[in-house]
Each structure stands twice: as C-alpha cells, then as structure tokens.
Amino acid sequence: MLFSKLFLYTLRQAPKEAEVISHQLSLRAGLLNSLASGVFSYLPLGLRVLRKIESIIRRHMNELGGQEVLLPALQPLSLWQKTGRDEILGETMIRFKDRRGREMVLGPTHEEVITDLVAKYVNSYKQLPLLLYQIQTKFRDEIRPRFGVIRSCEFIMKDAYSFDATAEGLDKVYNGIYSAYLSIFSECGLQIVDMEADTGFIGGSASAEFLAVAEAGEDIVYFCPDCSKYSRSESCPSCKKSGLSPIKTMEVGHIFKLGTKYSQSLKAYFLDEKGKNRPLEMGCYGIGVSRIIAAIIEAHHDEKGIVWPEKVSPFTLEILPLGGEDSSLVQFAFELYHQLQQKGYEVLLDERKESAGVKFNDALLLGLPYVVVVGKNSFGRGEVEIYQRRDNRKITLSKDKIIEWLEDKISYL
C-alpha cells in the first residue's frame, strides 16, 4: 500500500476526550474515529488489525471443530422474556418498537437466539456434540462509555456456543476452549491472567475469565510471588501471604458452563440413546475482539507510539525512501516494495514528499514491526538500514540481503 493512497490521517496530539493511552494512540495513529460517545468507525489501519485478530480466533475455533454462523442483531424482546433476562439487563438493552408494533432489541449477546435456532433442528443425540460460533457486533447502552473501545456501546465480539448430550461432554469442550483461549491471547501478544469468575447475568454453574494486564484496566487482581497464583483478595488463598501488590487488568474473554439454563427455558430438547427427552447441555464462550486492540496497545507502546506484535500488525513492514529527488533511490524503494509484495509481505511504502522527520515520526507512531530506511548516504554505499520497532534497534544491511534477512526473521507467513 502506498502511504499517499491510504485513508490515514495521523495526529500529533491526542484529543482531550482520550483518557488512556490505548484510546489516545488509536486516534492519533488513525485506527479509529469517534462518531459519538462509545461509538467508533474503524478506519483501514484499524480494520486490518481487527481482521488479523479475527483470523487468529477463527483458526483456533475451527481447529476445535467449530462452525461459523452469523446471527441477527435484531432480536424479538419476547425471546428474552422467556429466560427473564430482559429484566436482568434492564436499561442496558437497547429496545424499540418497529413499524409493526413489535418490541425488538439490539442484541447485547446471543444465548437466546442460538438456543432458539438449535432447538428447531437438533433433536437427537446423534447430532451432538455441536459447536457454533460467530464474530459479530453487540449493542449495550452503557451508562458511562469510556476508554475508547474498552467500554463502548457498540463492540465486536466472538461468541461461541456448545451443545452436548452430557455434562461430561460439556466439560471436554469447556476445557478445550480454555486452552485455545490461552493460545489465542498469546498469539496476540497479551499477558493473560486466567481465573475462576462469577457467572453474572449470563448464568450457569461455572465460569472463567481471561484478563489482560493493562494500566487502563478496571479489574484489580493480586499476585502471590510465593505461590505464583492470582486472586481477587489482598491475601493469598493458598499460603495466606498478605500485602500483595495490585495489578490492573481488563477482561478480554469469558467462558461459561451454562448447563440446561437456556435449553430448559427455550425448550431445546433431544432424545438420548434410550429415547428419553432431555435438555441440551450448553456452554458459551466469549472474546471481546475489538477490546483486544486496546489491550494490545496498552501492553505494547512507548513514548513514540504503538509497537505492534508481528501477527496482529496492520502491515508487516514499512519502507521509507529518504533520498529526496534521487530517482535511483526511489526506483530501488519501489522495486523492493513490489518484490516483497510478491513474496506475500504486507508492505507500506511511504513515498510522500515529506521531510525525514515527518516520515520517521509517523512510522514510529504507527508501530509496524520493521522499518526499512533507504537513506541517501547509506544507499550510496549500497546499504539500507532496518529498524526493529520493538527495541528500536538499527541494523545495516547490504541492499541485496534485505529479503533474506526478513525471511529469516518473519516465520509466520
């Protein structure tokens, strides 16, 4: 992609409403644009990151045998009334009447919808187990939207739902997804605290949450250095050590053993091997996809800008030609750009006629893993400089060694 053609407008200063670093850098680096409080547009750079995260999630869900669906955001209120969650969620649900007078909601989650769907088609143990998932927008009328996509009214979520004939089958899926979540968050570059949690308004018999360490997080946990365990209290539940240091975290994932809570309410039954009619054993498994972007930035930034982990970076690398009107230098930059693209690299070429300072500042703000600098002096010596953004280390290479060096460094393509 050519920088001059990219729909990207960087900011030197963050808008006043941006309180935390992830919100500030998301706006400054042109990932997001705020339309209203808690409502954001994803610009091309931000959408590329979002799609990378979604791709990681899809791969792991598919490996578990998950099948992707897409459920409606518009939902009849009557479905929620069957489980009683319309009263539990209260004003958090965005409700309205359509022109036919039907009471509708914009879906804050999809347990009711997926259970209603499966109840129509699954009626035998032979159709089980079943794991369905989607990546879709949710809507919640937050009292106080804040911190950008960390707490917003419209957000993107991966929600999966499992259906089993037995509680033992549910346990197997639950444990498999637990492990997959740890892998997903690791690939996204997040340090995760995983622990048992309250089931909240989702309900069920058990749940676990996945918390990303983040200065902007509103969830406080405590780490015991003697037991290497996390807890919600200031004293360790194992060794009783007190005076533990608090760690700020934000929730990025939550999984639940629902049991038969929804299947009984919505009459999702199946015939077992003995011909007995029984409610489906269910689980649900959520990941805050858009929130992961904020969590990554919170964990990976410096005073100059974002420092993207390689697997979620919007581009693999950036090329900066700094030779002014030197036609041979510019030609080399474009040739390298095309060669790398042909090899599968996602490349941003900053061919703008801007000063070196402007280009460097933008490159550091955007935070791509590698920046290939084609400077006038080094180019004259037959060399280029490569900056590794994660440690701002500079490496000088011969021009004909760039691709070989990148192929050695980047193994995930």
Instruction: Kindly report, residue by residue over 360-390, the tens digit of the pLDDT.
Output: 999 999 999 999 999 988 998 999 999 999 9
pTM of the model: 0.94
Instruction: Please compute the mean of the pLDDT values over residues 349-355 and round it to a whole number.
Output: 94
User: What is the total residue count of the chain?
Assistant: 413
- Kindly report the CATH number that applies to the domain delimited by 315-409: 3.40.50.800
Residue 84 binned pLDDT confidence (cut-offs 50, 70, 90): very high
Residues 6+ apart with CB under 8 A from 150: 20, 22, 23, 216, 250, 291, 294
CATH 3.40.50.800 domain range(s) in the chain: 315-409
Mean pLDDT is lowest, of 22-26, 43-47, 85-89, 236-240, for: 236-240
Give the pLDDT of residue 327: 87
Q: Which CATH superfamily is domain 3-302 in?
A: Bira Bifunctional Protein; Domain 2 (3.30.930.10)
Give the pLDDT of residue 374: 95
Residue 403, helix vs strand vs coil? helix
Give the pLDDT of residue 323: 73
Give the pLDDT of residue 229: 83
Q: Tell which residue, 346, 235, 286, has the closest CA to residue 110.
A: 286
181 pLDDT higher than 90 = yes
What pairing do the DSSP bridges indicate for beta strands 370-375 and 317-322?
parallel
Give the pLDDT of residue 17: 87
CATH 3.30.930.10 domain range(s) in the chain: 3-302
Give the pLDDT of residue 413: 56
Give the pLDDT of residue 232: 87
Per-residue pLDDT reduced to its tens digit, 280-319: 999 999 999 999 999 999 999 999 999 999 999 999 999 9
Residue 255, helix vs strand vs coil? strand
Instruction: Please compute the mean of the pLDDT values over residues 110-137 and round it to a whole number.
Output: 97
Instruction: Please compute the mean of the pLDDT values over residues 56-70 and round it to a whole number.
Output: 98
Helix locations, 287-401, DSSP H:
289-299, 327-342, 356-366, 376-380
- Looking at the chain, the whole-number percentage of residues with pLDDT higher than 70 is 99
